[in-house]
Chain A
Amino acid sequence: MSELKSIRVDGLGKCYRIGAQRRKAQTGIVALRNSLMAPLAYLKQKMTAATEEETLWALRDVSFDVRPGEIVGIVGRNGAGKSTLLKILSRITDPTAGHAEIRGRINALIEVGTGFHPDLTGRENVYLSAAIHGMRKAVVDAHLDDIVEFSGVAKFLDTPVKRYSSGMTVRLGFAVAAHLNPEVLLVDEVLAVGDADFRKKSLGKMPGVAASGRTVLIVSHNMGAILSLCTRAILLEDGRLVADGVAQEVVSTYLSRGATHSGEAHGNEMLRPGQKLKIRRLRALNVQGNVAGEFQKSRGVCIEVVFDVLEPGRGYVVNLQLFSLEFGCILTTSSWDSDVDSGAQRRWEEGRHVARIMLPTELLRGGEYWVKATSAMPGVSVLDEMDEELRFVLMDSDSPLAKHAEGRRGVILPILAWDIRRDDEGRTTKKGGV
């Protein structure tokens, strides 16, 4: 019975056909001829087999097994094939090669609130979303109270979902998902959304799911979440499985590979309709103002965040979270903090903004760090969230602590002043006592 596997993946591959580069037309006549011939060219492309340069293997020859009850994190850079893997396992798309076997009922959370209709009420959407995930109405009836309580939107249950803040929508969507009770659960970056409190609650729900013998596969860019939830992790790179093992080791491998310490990270290009703020870039700068991936603790690190305000307004906040591999989230700093003195919130004008923040490196231990940028209107909605994080290494070779800090415990490593005096009075009392 120990041979029993919850998920068996064998040689899985997915090949996409991408358009080959077209040469640009040189003259008007050629351009006209090209557009007239376009239907034929399109047909020809559809009918013929794809050539080598037209294909892209999003996933190639991936094999692994998962035992029942295991929580496995899938890490890798954008485009490494993580989401493709989940989509194949959840039957949203077919593999091109290889096969997989999944034992038991499976549910995939690729997106929270899938199938929500904005005009329907929260209650109606709970039933709808549950039905889309294959849950019977009778089962939802039995769990409705739990779902509502978990979501924390009880008061608005009979309000159309379009009046919800995006945070509330996410909470309701996740509450449904959390009660699906599949034997195998696939989660794609779902934990990246929602406010901090709810995220904690969701994270709390995950190990509970696995403790009851369920198998969970999580895709996330949030290394903190992977480390706190998963016992095991799989690293994908360009569609191939390059590491599989203890979560901490795999995450460390991921962080140390390739150009991950470039000291620069970019936001994606996607804009939601009505988006108010977009984070474009994160950079780590040294004292000279140059981008770097490695820093001396004694010289300081400056984080630069570039964002575009797309709609002028009040109440926007940009947050930076600093993580360490060993300890998870070390601190969160917010653009709000600089408004504290004036007591009022800053009014944001439309256009590009650049913010620079000095990190308190005098407090930090040497090691690998990463920074995540998010933006929100606190208590109202999430505005933007970068999926790529900025990574850098903090070295300590010239501070007074460099030599003898080894083995000390604690999240931070500040140099605190010890006021030490010889206590003569104490000594006399002691003597007198004897």
Chain B
Amino acid sequence: MADTKNTRILRVHPAKGLVPLNMAELWEYRELLLFLLWRDIKGRYKQTAFGPLWILGGPLINMVLLSLIFGKLAKLPSEGIPYPLFAYSALLPFGLFSSSLTGTATSLLDNSGLISKVYFPRLITPLLPVLSAFVNFSASFLILLGMVFAYGFMPGVEILCLPLFLLLAAMTGLAVGLWWASWIVHFRDLRDVLQYIVKAWMYASPVVYSSSIIVDRFGPEWMPLYRLNPIVTVVDGVRWCLLGVGQGPDSMLVFSYIVVFLLLLGGAFAFCRAERTIVDIA
């Protein structure tokens, strides 16, 4: 049995109970993840006059529109921060969360053509939109940094905590998205429902308003409930890192991480279970 040592045996059998996640295999296919990411980015900017400049151009136009509308028209309390800066600093991390969420939730459907033709670890498909969201975020973040300096703010060492909050935003999107993906396979209706959930989620987070409103209007006893939403911690945290308002890392951040991690683990199992049947019903 000398040669059986280095040939592996693949066993195919009906899926029952928990499907193992097989992280080792996922690691083996890491190149594919990067190739697919690169394909999406490169494919998106082919045949455009400005090409990759659009990565910066999109967020730039967004920022200008936002400044025009909110800088002049709407007046919401923003803790002394110029409103465009106040809103943009929250829209970016929220966008990181929401595009991770929607991309992950529809990943099985979006890639069903590939999934029905060739085998690869399916967990790659939800990771792809998350990485893609990070790429887009990085470009927009450069614009945001420019804005921060232009308005005369100087971020201190707090900015080193930024990855802590960004990772939480992406993980929350991924975790919820994985659960959603496992249901969307059976009920396509959920794809339409999702955009309303994202909208509601934005209003449940201090994106266009300040979280201090909650304390002012409802009283401080509502804060712990409000902060069960991890995105509240994310948005307030990002503002704290860049602008010095909001809330830095505290016990709620640790709590959010624990909850989101458990949610993520469960979501991964739910996803792997759903992934085995999508080929048959999609």
CB-contacts of A81-111 with B (<8 A): 87-106, 108, 110-111
B119 and A90 contact, CB distance less than 8 A: yes
- Provide the bound-state CA to CA distance between A131 and B59, in Å: 32
> B279 within 8 Å of A by Cβ?
yes
A to B contact number (C-beta, < 8 Å): 101
Residues of A within 8 Å of B36, CB to CB, are 128, 131
The reply to whether the CB of A120 lies closer than 8 angstroms to some CB of chain B is yes
Closest chain-B Cβ to A59's Cβ sits at a distance in Å of 12
List B residues 1-59 near A (Cβ within 8 Å): 7-15, 28-29, 31-32, 35-36, 39, 42-43, 46-47
Q: Are A103 and B7 in touch, CB under 8 angstroms?
A: yes
B280 in contact (CB, < 8 A): yes
Q: Which residues of A contact B117 (CB under 8 A)?
A: 92, 110-111, 114-115
Q: Is residue A427 within 8 Å, beta carbon to beta carbon, of the partner chain?
A: no
CA distance A101 to B13 in the complex (A): 9
* CB <8 Å contact, B118 and A115: yes
Complex CA distance for A214 and B119, rounded to whole angstroms: 20
Q: Which residues of B contact A117 (CB under 8 A)?
A: 39, 43
Closest Cβ–Cβ distance, residue A46 to chain B (whole Å): 6
Q: Which residues of chain A come closer than 8 Å to B11, judged between CB atoms? A: 99-101
A201 proximal to B (CB < 8 A): no
Do A95 and B119 have beta carbons less than 8 Å apart?
no
Chain A's closest residue to B28 (CB) is A134
Q: Please tell me which one of the listed residues B9, B29, B119 contacts residue A91 in the complex, with CB atoms under 8 A apart.
A: B119
Q: Once the chains bind, are A110 and B39 in contact (CB under 8 Å)?
A: no
Contact of B280 among A93, A124, A183 (CB under 8 A): A93
Complex Cα spacing A97 to B15, Å: 10
> How many of A's residues come within 8 Å of B, CB to CB?
41
Q: Of B7, B114, B115, B279, which one neighbours A183 at CB under 8 angstroms?
A: B7
What residues of A have a CB within 8 angstroms of the CB of B47 in the complex? 119
**Residues of chain A contacted by B13 (CB below 8 angstroms):** 94-95, 98-100
Whether A103 lies near B114 (C-beta < 8 A) is no
A275 to B96, CA, bound (A): 41
Interfacial chain A residues near B186, Cβ < 8 Å: 46
Check A133 against B118 for contact (C-beta < 8 Å): yes
Question: Can you name the residue of chain A whose Cβ is closest to the Cβ of B276?
Answer: A94
**A95: B residues at CB distance < 8 A:** 12-14
Contacts of A137 in B (CB 8 A): 31
Flag if A132 contacts B12 (CB, 8 Å): no
CB-CB nearest in chain B for A127: B35
Residue of A nearest to B34 (CB): A131
How would you classify the secondary structure of chain B's contact residues: helix, strand, loop or mixed? Answer: mixed
| Complex-state Cα separation, A133 to B277, whole angstroms | 21
Instruction: Assess the A131–B31 pair: CB atoms within 8 A.
Output: yes
Task: Tell whether A16 is near chain B: CB-to-CB under 8 Å.
Answer: yes
A92 and B118 within 8 A (CB):
yes
The answer to whether B115 and A92 have CB atoms under 8 Å apart is yes
**Which residues of chain B have C-beta atoms less than 8 A from A120's C-beta?**
39, 42-43, 46
A124 cross-chain contacts in B, Cβ below 8 A? 39, 42
The complex places the Cα of A262 from the Cα of B226 at a distance, in Å, of 72
Interface string of B148-187 (1 = CB under 8 A from A): 0000000000000000000000000000000000000010
Instruction: Tell me whether B39 and A128 are in contact (CB under 8 A).
Output: yes
Q: In whole angstroms, how far apart are the Cα atoms of A93 and B276 in the complex?
A: 6
In whole angstroms, what is the CA distance A101 to B29 when docked?
A: 22
B120 within 8 A of A: yes
- Report Cα–Cα, A104/B119, bound state, in Å: 15
Chain A residues with CB below 8 A from B35, complex form? 127-128, 131-132
Contacts of A103 in B (CB 8 A): 7-10
B116 within 8 A of A: yes
Report if A102-B9 is in contact (Cβ < 8 Å); known contacts: A110-B117, A132-B114.
yes
Q: How far is the CB of A48 from chain B (nearest CB, A)?
A: 14
For the complex formed, measure the closest distance between the CB of B37 and the CB atoms of chain A, giving whole angstroms. 11
| Separation of A96 and B114 alpha carbons in the complex (Å) | 22
Other-chain residue from A46, A100, A105, A133 in contact with B12 (beta carbon distance below 8 A): A100
Contact A96 B14 (CB under 8 A): yes
Q: Complex formed: what's the CA distance from A100 to B9 in Å?
A: 10
Interface residues in B88-136 by Cβ distance below 8 A to A read 114-120
Which residues from chain B contact A90 at a C-beta distance below 8 Å? 118-119
Cβ-closest chain A residue relative to B118: A114
**Which A residues touch B32, using CB under 8 A?**
131-132, 134
In Å, the complex CA distance between A98 and B29 comes to 28
Given contact pairs A87-B279, A91-B119, A119 touches B46 in the complex (Cβ within 8 A): yes
Contact B14 A119 (CB under 8 A): no
Docked Cα-Cα span, A276 to B42, in Å, equals 31
Which of A92, A100, A127, A132 contacts B279 (CB under 8 A)?
A92
Given that A117-B39, A120-B39 are contacting pairs, would A102 and B10 also be in contact in the complex, using a CB cutoff of 8 Å?
A: yes
A352: which B residues are within 8 A, CB to CB?
none
Give B209-251 interface residues, CB cut-off 8 Å to A.
none
CA A97 to CA B46, docked complex, whole Å? 46
- Check if A108 sits within 8 Å of B118, measured CB to CB: yes
CB neighbours of B277 from chain A (8 A)? 94
Q: Are B15's CB and A132's CB within 8 A? A: no
Q: Which residues of B contact A102 (CB under 8 A)?
A: 9-10, 12
Q: A100-B12, A128-B36, A128-B39 are in contact. List 8 more A-B contacts (CB 8 A).
A: A92-B117, A93-B280, A94-B277, A100-B11, A115-B117, A120-B46, A134-B32, A137-B31
Nearest 4 CB-CB pairs, A to B?
Answer: A119-B46, A99-B13, A131-B35, A100-B12
- Name B residues whose Cβ lies closer than 8 Å to a Cβ of A: 7-15, 28-29, 31-32, 35-36, 39, 42-43, 46-47, 114-120, 186, 276-277, 279-280
* 8 A-B pairs with C-beta separation under 8 A: A87-B116, A92-B116, A94-B276, A99-B13, A102-B10, A110-B118, A111-B117, A131-B31
